[in-house]
Structure 1
Amino acid sequence: MRVRFFGGLAVTSDDGEAVVVPGRARQALLLRLAIDAGTTVGTRALAEDVWVRDAPDDPRAALQSLVSRLRGSLPAGLVTSTPGGYRLELTRDDVDVTRFADLVAESRAANDPERARTALALWTGDVWTPHEGFDWLVRDLLEDRAHAEGLTAAAAKTSTASPPAASAPAASPVGAALTALVGRGDELDAIRERLRTDRLVTVIGPGGAGKTTLAIETARAVADSIVVELAPAAAGDVWTAIAGAVGRRIRLPETAATPASPLDRVTEAVAGRDVVIVLDNCEHLVREAAEAALALLRMSPGVRVLTTSREPLGIPGEAFVDLGPLPPTDARRLFAQRVRSARGRLPDDDERATAERIVQRLDGLPLAIELAAARTRTLTLAEIDAGLDDRFALLSHGPRLSVERHRTLRALIDWSWDTLSAGERIALQASAVFADGIGAADAAAVAAAFEVDAAEFDALVDRSLLVRRDARFRMLETVREYGLDRLRTDGAAETYRLRAAVVLTELAAAREARTRGPGLRDALAWFDANDENLTAALRVCAEAHDRRAGVRLLRSLVWPWAVRERTDDLRRAVAEFADPTAALDDEPRVVVEAVALFAAAFPAPGRPSTVTLESYTARRAELEQAAHRNRSDVTALVPPLLRLAQTVLRSGAGDAARTWHVDVTDEEFAAAPAWTRAILHALRAGAAQNSGDMTALDRESERALAMFEAIGDPWGTGFASQLRAEWLSLAGRLDDALAVTDRSAAAVQGLSSVPDVLQQQSQAVGILLRLGRLDEARLRARAIDDAAQADGSVRSLAQAYMTAAQVEVAAGDGEAALRVVGLVDLRGQPGIPEQFSAWLDAQRAQALLLLGRDDEARVTLRTALSAAISSQDHPIIASVLLAVAGWNAVTGRSARAREALARATAVRGAADVHDPFHVWVSARTGAGAEETSAPAGGIRTALSDVDAETLTALLD
């Protein structure tokens, strides 16, 4: 397929047929993917460029839907999902704008006008874009076009006679550049535009960002300009430096015998002239430079001043051009060019990933990139990448003739450090220990912890050492490493990290209190934004062997991590900080120790329990008493949850396995806060679902859902809704069940993990199938698949494939169902629960039965029954029994089929008569209302018994 954007959008297939891509949104998505054809584009970048205005509330979901529609417009397989994004499966040569850009880059690297002409031949008209959000692409292409035209024009001049000297342009007042400028076209245009409208323009950015390069490039294009280098100037020498630079450009007549002051000489020189004066590197003399700039502006209306600095001059009317890191594409191109200069060849294809990682680790800072590229004379790219762990040692040699502050990476930041006040230095080093940055709302608390004023963070932003973005103070990684290195040198690293841990513990406790109610989303956003900070703080507590501090912090992470389903992280942290010998003397310790005991009763899949019933009982009694002494909405859950876990430990096979329940006394219910009571009702509903008590499931799920909705807790609403929808579905109230499920999906969107959200959406698909709305179910299953492909996790993909199989079974298409189930591969995957495997095998068996492959279905069902019984998940056992009934039905064993249906009904607590496969089985057995009672003969155990021998006998 070919995609063309020059002269209008045109898409053609390999056989020359036109491909229509309707709608601006789909066209915008196609353009954004095409710009990086053949590589993955992240979901965030796609959403930002597709929707520059009026972004949807849930960009990720909207993007999944849009990708699905784009796939429908293009040949199959062209848009693929990858972890974290999507990819257009074309080469860069298949897209005219990327082929153009590559040809221009190659022509410039090789000084090849022929390739430049080939590129220009592709420019058949203006670049088509769907909206103004792609202006950056147009500007980049126009810049490339100018380079290509320059190459071809230079070649044309070389091939003809040289023009007369009189017609040659006047020499630039600034010397020629030693190397071509890479990127920065937008910033260069911005500087020129500001100088047309403002008389004082300051280019601001961190050290090594290329401020001087851009200022000189601007001056080079101006007919009358003067560059004043202030870096070597000491305090009191600013006017001397200016006068010296002016004197080199403008010769003044000899006047009185007494020499005029530098200020007077400059005033006389610039009077009546239109001149741009560049004051380069003002940050170390910012006050004097500001006073000088103001004086220069007052000398003549034709004077314009362009300054470069790591902080503003602070003059009224000062205009700014912020110079951040190079964009990734330009940074990679700069690195490649400088590597070629250093070792004679560009990075190889197998070095590309390493080169990209180096550029990213260097924050896109041009000077750091050039220093790293220069090391390729003696080091491989892999060695440079590894060496960046100590970047200041690695990048300690620069060009011999470069200015001192640009010879090493350390000198680059030393230049800024030397200008900081004591408070600013503390704030910089404090910022360095917060890997996620510092939230603006938390800045005052962090500043107080380090005994500085919060205004110091803003001062560091002004000095280009911090960036305030998305309401957070962030650092370039190079600056952060510098701060950490300073702390290590001063022997203060541990002190600063401990202070950070203390303040994070206090902030986390305040946010955690808002996670049980309407503030949950905002609170989780805080925990997400500070995830690396909090993890590092836990690590600091562990390294300091301070379990009490670790427990206090971990207490605030328990519920946010539980909501986010970070079970493994929680298990590891609890194992690190739990101490059964510690005194249960405060609420955090009680909560953490209770979680530790609960986790011991429910070990990770495939791992045995490490606790005996006797030791568990004794520890539970201690924790119950401590929970009553240290009351909170979480400790109120400790007694019933630990009693629940004990019933599981005590249970064995058969009916005993159905005895687990949530045991809460009237006194505990009365004393519990509202949120805790809602949780307990939901847990009772879950226990009722597993025990087949439909009356209790009805009562408890209704109460839990009403309470969570009244509290405004979205997570609890989603949890209770799933249980409520289960009862409504079994009660035959399918429309009500669908409404509750859809509200639940909206409630938990963005809260739970992607697999959990997809599980809830799959519940809605099942209800639609029971309603006979196959087409709607199929559409939703496709949306689930799009979301799973974007997420890429094993659980998400398995959920999507099993949902699709469920649809195909309902449609009676055994081949399609078996094909989809075959896509699920759980082998060797850790943490997959047994009920997942059991449900998968039950679906595989249903598909095989639809195809008449009865013997294979029987083998699969034996495996499914074993996993289902082991899981003690009774709804799953009922689902497998339904498939067992199907096998008996198609093999002519009607009595056994009815027994299997009756057992499924007894285990579940109600007959799922609207399940499409249940309908399929019933039609072949003649089973009706009587299926809930035992068929005549051969029943030796209770129908509700889940004994393995009894159930496996149904397949004999």
Structure 2
Amino acid sequence: MRFLLLGPMGIDGAETAPAGPRLRALLAYLVLNAGHTVPAERLVDALYGDEPPAGAPGALQSQVSRLRKSVDIEYGPAGYRLVADPEDVDVLRFEQLAREGARAREAGDPGRAAVLLREALGLWRGPALADLTHAPFAAAQSARLEELRAGAVEELAEAELALGGDPSELLPWLREAVAAHPLRERLRGQLMRALRRGGRGAEALAEYETARTLLAEELGTDPSPELAAVHLSILRGEEARTAPASRLPAQLTSFVGRDCELAVLVRLLGSSRLVTLIGTGGTGKTRLALEAAARLPGEVCFVDLSAAPRTALAVRGALGLRDSGAGDPEAALVEALRDRAVLLILDNCEQIVEDAAALTHRLLSHCPGLRVLATSREALGITGESLRPVGPLDTDAAVRLFTDRALAVRPDFEPDDTNSRTVRDICDSLDGLPLAVELAAARLRQLPLAEIADRLDDRFRLLSRGDRTKPERHRTLRAVVEWSWSLLSDEEREFAARLTVFAGGATAEAAGRVCGAGPDAEDLLASLTDKSLVEAGSGRYRMLETIRAYASEQLPSRSRELVGAAHTAYFLELAEAADPELRSADQLRWLERLSAEHANLRASLVRATRDDLPSALRLLTALSSFWWLRGLRADVAPVAAELLGALDGYVPGGMEGVDFDCGFDFGEAYVLCVLAAGAGGAVPGAERARAARIVAERDRPFRQPFTAFLWAISAGPSAGAERPELTGPDPWTRALARAGAGHLHLFHGRVEEAALDLSAALAAFRSLGERWGTATTLAGLAGVSGALGDTEAALACADEALVLFEELGCWEDVADLLRQRAELLRGAGRLAAARADFERALVAARRAGTPAALAAARSSLSSCPAS
């Protein structure tokens, strides 16, 4: 028995259904949930809406009894279930075919995708649920299905364009699709590309102008970057192409030896939502994952978990989500990814496998567009996980890899009949492990091939008689690293061991300062890079984790203490130098520099919390504004909490305001520590009360200008942070105090006073060239102009502030300001433009990933219905 809902309702292919609107609605709802048990309460709500009559449950039983005479309905304590094969339900069949078609296209098989999508769209006979408009559930279900239908049309168009089909065949139905959905920019771009291929470039450009006008009139927005890229490519006479959003590390070497595994993995990622590459260290799991991701369309995000304290924090950082310090970071990730189609690469999961598995399960359960590609030395152990073992290379592939890397260090190396046998012997002796093969090839710069083969043979014979109870990675990969280590000079060994103090890599200048190599650091780093012990890219040097772990063991405890202290001192100096620059015209450059060193800064704070409390407090004080601007407070909150605990009893009572000889104010540092620890959860009342007392009793300005602002955000202006005696003499602090006074005036309805203070603050921030203060003040002035009825002036202020907040990556501020802008537009009667801003606010709130911002954006959007 076949059930039809994609058009007039029908059974067994005939457009007939049970008599009576209620009975037809009941059957339709059961068909939509075919194969699943539906509780009676849900069926009552579906049939009668929010206010069912008193006799609704009894009427439902009667209606089900009538239906069971013609269709198979099972009844149990949990509810009712229509027994039907999903293949016999046109809605379910359509959804399945559409999903498979989209996956086939993403996997690089447009031919199969086109076949599946044509079959899916061929199931439609008219508007979904066309004769069920009276049912309370029909409108939402119909809208959902029509959205899926439009998406399938877009996927089919993309597949047809990839196949290079005749534009004359594509154009008629593309024009029809665009006419039905004039605001869908992807469809419009596909039509433009088809016109361009047919030699009708002028018509393609006209389509863009039509889209631009419609978007401006209906939504108050400009064309998306993707549609603008198609327009630009046509202007340049190029074939239109779109580049998917991607966050993949750039690769510095060619990919050799796993073409078959790569093809299989790409296909698997088209059909499975969770794929885990498993195998011992050094087999190339990470590189294989990156190569597969680079061949897939769509958004990709790479997350390295090798040094991550929590999976959620690492994923949030990789996605660029700003955190306001409140709420569950996992819940924030769910909201940020719920409506996005992303391939998430979780690398080195074995470090925190249980935490990675729990987060992966939660994200996949709530984010239908998400796919995960994990690398680990063990499975995540989640239902539905597809495992792909990554073993050693076969001999031929290992020989190709050795030859490729050998030519990189010895351009005159020429494989021939004589040395090819030696290379094969080396690769076989190394078990075909890619890392071991690359390290062996790197030695060609210093040693003859025959000597490499001889020394490698001796080393493996020694290690083969080692402790058989050790894990395999210590009997194979460790042997390779130890062998490579033995070939380093004494100077190289010492430098490499000291380099392990860095977390997240280092610049040459930082390595030279911390490791004591001075101007020789660049030569040593280049040598270690040539020998594959260090990776280089974007001006930074990073050790592979396996090598870093081995090298760290070679560092004597006394040397580890000295280099650790040097690491802390270097990054404390950097943090204190950067702090005032974050309030200057050079703000963006310093934000990027600190962001690149975030892992090192955090590691320094952890170490100082254990070994050097004054330095820990100085670091925390200097970094407080950076953490706020970059939304990183939740990441450092656990360390701040440990520091707060270590401070218990450190300074006698009554000394909260004293200055230490090392140049910081303990009382202020204590307040900032309480605020930082509070970003990760509740701070004990005693510590919070002590911080409040320090602020209340303070009679001089704070050393860190952000302290007063952060305390006001946490405790409210009534807590005393706005007192004049707390305002420092520097221009930025005075400007912030003036801006704060202006916002307070505006809050209390004193518009003229607010305008005076905010205008003065704006002038001061502009003279400094500082973006955050300028944007915050402009947002206040937008409120002033709105209160005075000058909508255009308010919009101008808001627009300028939005540009600055977006440059800084302050997405929660962007969401708040877009909602403020939308209210201005709504007050001016421009409802379509207002709704567009509310929708943009929701997008920004999702990017911020904070529940509070999302709740506010959704509430605002729901208050502005579509026209």
Q: What TM-score, normalized to structure 1?
A: 0.45
TM, length-normalised to structure 2: 0.50
Structure number with higher relative contact order (C-alpha < 8 Å, ≥ 6 residues apart): 2
